């Protein structure tokens, strides 16, 4: 099933993206974000140094390697470049981004699954998001391929969501395998963001897929103990999963849900600078929490972004990269891309970052 109508006309959002792409093809100027948020020179320098390192470590086939998950690492790197305004085929890193897009398109299997190294739904969700975010900035040839690839990828996501679950609480979610009969909030977040990204570029999705995903997230919001979201049950709340739940509910059109505010308040009480405790997966945590804070706005953004930015700036290495424990959290390209994505939320170049 093709989830896109004839693309003789681009959605209005894509026309705006292409106009933005034309602007950023020139040398990048200091950025000013929405709501008069100023991007500091320190953050700009950190991001640009990180991107230079990513460009130097790209593989000949256009990929990046991170802990055996080259599809996910490449998708995140693509978004990191675009989050700073670097678009496919234009400017300093245009060839890097185009080659990475070609790699993503090359690893889609005949059944529609993006899976280079057996990570399955994690890789699939991230690759789908990256293609959706790049779609409006691609040349005609790549855009046609991306449209077909995203359409196949959406079918994989929807079919996996509809697999009967062993536990009724898992309905509406996803797990590692497309055939999984259970779910977790982490994998579910990536798939729901992929569906939102596909909708942004003109895909037509069944309403029950979004509604079922929202219901899953709300079932995994913890009522007692100050809010937050859990992984598979109701007891293992973390900042990473709370950022995932808050962000995804907002992006899916439910920003006023009580679970959103409770989750935001939970994040305000959490130490995001630690690689232990509430932030067991440091870069994953800051990636989602930065986006969640941006969507929440107000004191959530003011307080959480300061903590996130300060933490990331302190952890950047002399060569411009980021890593955690020698690369134990997905490897250096993964850590670097996630750090850049956390720092560049207010640039608003990525459609998924729009409020």
CATH (domain of 38): 1.50.10.20
Residue 236: what pLDDT?
82
Query: Does 325 fall in a domain?
Result: yes
Q: What is the mean pLDDT of each run of 10 residues along the chain (355 residues)?
A: 57 44 42 66 97 97 82 96 96 97 96 79 96 97 97 97 96 96 96 96 94 96 82 84 97 96 95 61 94 97 96 96 70 94 95 85
Phi, psi of 183 (to 5 degrees): -145, 160
Query: Does 5 fall in a domain?
Result: no
Query: Does 64 fall in a domain?
Result: yes
Query: Does 17 fall in a domain?
Result: no
Looking up tokens 């130490």, which residue turns up? 271
Query: Does 21 fall in a domain?
Result: no
- Return the number of other C-beta atoms located less than 10 Å from residue 155's C-beta: 16
Q: Dig out the tokens for 104 from the structure.
A: 């993503």
Query: Does 100 fall in a domain?
Result: yes
Number of domains in the chain: 1
Query: Does 2 fall in a domain?
Result: no
Q: Dig out the tokens for 296 from the structure.
A: 């929440």
Residue 119: what pLDDT?
60
pLDDT digits (tens, 9 = 90+) for 82-121: 999 999 999 999 999 999 999 999 999 999 999 866 568 9
Residue partners of 38: CB distance under 8 A and separation at least 6: 32
Query: Does 43 fall in a domain?
Result: yes
pLDDT digits (tens, 9 = 90+) for 15-37: 444 444 433 434 444 444 555 67
Domain range for 200 is 30-353
């Amino acid at each position: 099933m093709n989830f896109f109508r004839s693309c003789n006309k681009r959605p209005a959002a894509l026309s705006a993206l292409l106009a933005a792409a034309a602007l950023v093809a020139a040398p990048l100027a200091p950025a000013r974000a929405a709501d008069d948020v100023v991007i500091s020179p320190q953050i700009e320098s950190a991001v640009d140094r990180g991107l230079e390192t990513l460009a130097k470590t790209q593989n000949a086939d256009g990929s990046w390697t991170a802990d055996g998950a080259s599809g996910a690492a490449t998708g995140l790197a693509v978004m990191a470049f675009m989050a700073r305004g670097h678009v496919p085929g234009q400017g300093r890193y245009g060839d890097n981004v185009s080659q990475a897009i070609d790699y993503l398109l090359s690893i889609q299997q005949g059944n529609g699954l993006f899976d280079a190294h057996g990570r399955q739904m994690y890789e699939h969700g991230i690759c789908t998001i990256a293609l959706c975010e790049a779609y409006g900035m691609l040349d005609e040839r790549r855009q046609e391929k991306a449209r077909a690839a995203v359409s196949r990828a959406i079918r994989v996501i929807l079919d996996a969501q509809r697999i009967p679950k062993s536990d009724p609480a898992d309905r509406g979610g996803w797990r590692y395998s497309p055939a999984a009969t259970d779910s977790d909030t982490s994998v579910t977040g990536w798939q729901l963001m992929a569906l939102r990204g596909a909708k942004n570029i003109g895909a037509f999705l069944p309403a029950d897929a979004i509604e079922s995903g929202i219901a899953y997230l709300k079932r995994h919001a913890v009522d007692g103990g100050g809010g937050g979201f859990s992984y598979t049950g109701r007891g293992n709340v973390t900042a990473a999963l709370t950022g995932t739940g808050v962000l995804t509910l907002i992006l899916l059109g439910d920003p006023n849900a009580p679970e959103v505010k409770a989750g935001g308040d939970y994040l305000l009480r959490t130490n995001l600078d630690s690689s232990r405790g509430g932030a067991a997966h440091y870069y994953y945590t800051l990636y989602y929490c930065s986006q969640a804070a941006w969507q929440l706005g107000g004191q959530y953004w003011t307080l959480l972004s300061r903590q996130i930015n300060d933490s990331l700036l302190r952890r950047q290495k002399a060569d411009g990269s980021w890593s955690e424990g020698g690369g134990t959290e997905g490897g250096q390209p993964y850590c670097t891309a996630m750090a850049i994505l956390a720092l560049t939320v207010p640039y608003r170049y990525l459609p998924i970052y729009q409020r």
